[in-house]
Chain A
Amino acid sequence: MTTVAQEAGAPTGAAPPSDPGAAIVTSGLTKRFRGGQTAVDALDLTVPRGSVYGFLGPNGSGKTTTIRMLLGLITPTGGTCSLLGLPLALALPRVGALVEGPAFYPYLTGEANLRRFDAADPTASGATVRRRVGEALERVGLTAAAGKRYRNYSLGMRQRLAIAAALLGPRELLILDEPTNGLDPQGTREVRALVKEIAAGGTTVFVSSHLLAEVEQMCTHAAIMRTGRLVADGTIASLSGGLATRVSVETPDAADAARVLAALGLADVRSAAGAVTAELGGHAPERVNAALVGEGVAVRGLAVVRPSLEDVFVGLTGEGFDVDG
């Protein structure tokens, strides 16, 4: 991106906000499918403008159902939701979306597919479609494959094309459902970089994932879903802040070390064979180390363990997570 392009307002950059409120607001949002299964249960969510919002949860926790309700694809059985503080028909042209994987016409080329979806947007102009499609393809690195039929695209290329489709116009909000699914590690890194770049332009990004590491790396905020319910939300810092930073001491003298740590006033001292951990609280780790050594404890290692989102999640739900991110 050159400076000139930035000044000209590249179409994939942020659009001026239409409403100063939150990008996404849901209130008591509920979806009960016929057959009685409750996919989303009284969800209250507020996604601040300009945030990169991670929407976390294991598969089947209601993330995609929520996204479908946000986009007006399915009707909530209870509660409300709004995008950009606008009626849905006015909000959607300002929203780019990737829902449950790519879906295109296999017999059309990548470029023709993007033109097709652009034609469906009543606010998009046919006069600029050529340039916008070209720029979206370039943004995801598909320029060389623009003339290839979608049928012959690899899984990674399909995913990129879906992201390109979400970037066809100036967007205030991007809703990306599992954007790195099917991508190789290189592609995953590229998508993360792209999301950061888009967010830097002021676009709010709402990204669902079942990969904790991914959300930790990309997002400023997160919400954690479990079986259709919201179990936690807030900034990444505040979420992790809910759990204390711990100090972990590797030592053969576990009992002595535990005593010293308790004497220092550290809370929640737990000792195991060869290691002791405690909540660090306001203590400086180097002081803790000096005290241990001063008391004759053989310190083999000392580490400060900051809580990760995974710890938060496990703490909240007692459930593990797919963490192969």
Chain B
Amino acid sequence: MSTADTGTRTRRTPGLVPVTETLSTVERRPEEPSDRPAPLAPQAGRRAGAFWRLLVSELSLTFHRPRNLAMLAALATVPVIMGVSLRLFAGDDQVGGMIAAVAGNSLMLTFLALSALVLLMMPIAVSVVAGDALAGEAGGGTLRYLLAAPAGRTRLLAVKYLNAVVYAYAVTAVVALSALVTGLVLFPAGDVVLLSGTTVTMTDGLLRIALTVGYVGFALSAVAAVALAISAFTEVPIGAIAGTVVLIIACQVLRAIPALEAIAPYLLPTRFTGFDAVLRSPIDTGALTEGLLTFGAYIVMSLSIAWAHFTGKDVTS
């Protein structure tokens, strides 16, 4: 018994309460009740605190893992490469459309980068985190100890999903920020000419970027829900990750087949680039809403499947 000996222990000796308690010992007092078993019916506040604590633990695990940080770093470099190469070729008169728009305004690079990366790279990054969420714990055997702690199956599922959502928004924010900074450094700032030809102020442009980040983050949250659902069914994380990525690519292929046009609106990737609605004036809220509803439907459906399976699953790993 060497650490934290005198401070905490003599204080609790019956009949030995020091008369001159320092402020710090008074502050440490609330620790004591937790030495005893918790009350049979924990209060709602305490329960929320415990949920938050597990979520923080999950987030810290996710954002300390070199793999997850490397994916964020890789995604952050893509807009830089795009910006630099556009800058080098901007003098060329052949270019037009989106690329010309980027060359003309710093904010447009953000939209270009997001629409390029949202199709595959960003979903892959999110699939890695969400697909690993349950399967990784099961494969490593840590799931049985989390559940015996007891983390609670529904609670753990909720924490895992929220964690994946935070990562999805982190991915989106990193790409957007990297593109924004690159754009501001390499291209002229100022009023933004939208796809519909209208010109809006830079502040308005930034607001539209914020809207886009919200939309893309939600799209990736839908990807995360699908990956988490697959993750609940396996103990092999790479299987859950690959499964999600294959699903996304398969949807992209189906979407490209003209004969299957009828099902295209129901495929997740069809809606990924729906944020170009914010580049019109007025903003095409109908298209945005449709996209968000599709994502919402995928989230509800996938989480229901994940919950139904995970809460009744035998954990034998």
Which residues of A pack against B, CB within 8 Å? 1-2, 4-5, 7-9, 11, 15-16, 18, 68, 71-75, 86, 88-90, 92-95, 97, 99-101, 103-108, 115-128, 131, 134, 138, 143, 165, 169-170, 172
Contact = CB atoms under 8 A, between A and B. Distances in A.
A124 B8 CA distance: 18
B35 interface: yes
Given A15-B37, A119-B57, A125-B34, A165 B145 contact: yes
A105 B35 contact: no
A103 B9 contact: no
* Shortest beta-carbon contacts, A-B, top 8: A103-B141, A123-B38, A125-B34, A119-B57, A120-B149, A122-B50, A92-B150, A120-B151
A171 to B, nearest CB: 9
A175 B67 CA distance: 35
Contact of B31 (A86, A90, A108, A125): A125
A73 B144 CA distance: 7
B30 interface: yes
B265 interface: no
Contacts of A2: 1, 9
A315 B206 CA distance: 82
B129 to A, nearest CB: 15
**DSSP class of A's interface residues: helix, strand, loop or mixed?**
loop
A93 B315 contact: no
Contact of B150 (A5, A7, A89): A89
Contact of A170 (B30, B31, B36, B147): B36
B142 A75 contact: no
B9 A99 contact: no
Contacts of B40: 18, 86, 90
A74 B42 contact: no
**DSSP class of B's interface residues: helix, strand, loop or mixed?**
helix
A33 to B, nearest CB: 8
B258 interface: no
Interface stretch (B10-18, B104-112, B113-121, B248-256): B10-18
B37 A68 contact: no
A120 B146 contact: yes
Given A119-B56, A122-B50, A88 B31 contact: no
A73 B147 contact: yes
Contacts of A165: 145
B196 interface: no
A119 B37 contact: no
B51 to A, nearest CB: 8
Contacts of B53: 119, 126
Contacts of A117: 145-146, 149
Nearest to A2: B1
Contacts of A169: 37
Contacts of A105: 61, 140, 142
Contact of A121 (B14, B149, B315): B149
A134 B37 contact: no
A47 B208 CA distance: 65
Given A8-B13, A128-B35, A89 B145 contact: no
15 contacts: A7-B14, A8-B8, A9-B36, A16-B37, A18-B40, A89-B152, A93-B37, A93-B149, A100-B141, A117-B149, A122-B50, A122-B51, A125-B31, A138-B1, A138-B3
Nearest to A65: B316
B312 interface: yes
A204 to B, nearest CB: 14
B149 to A, nearest CB: 4
B4 interface: yes
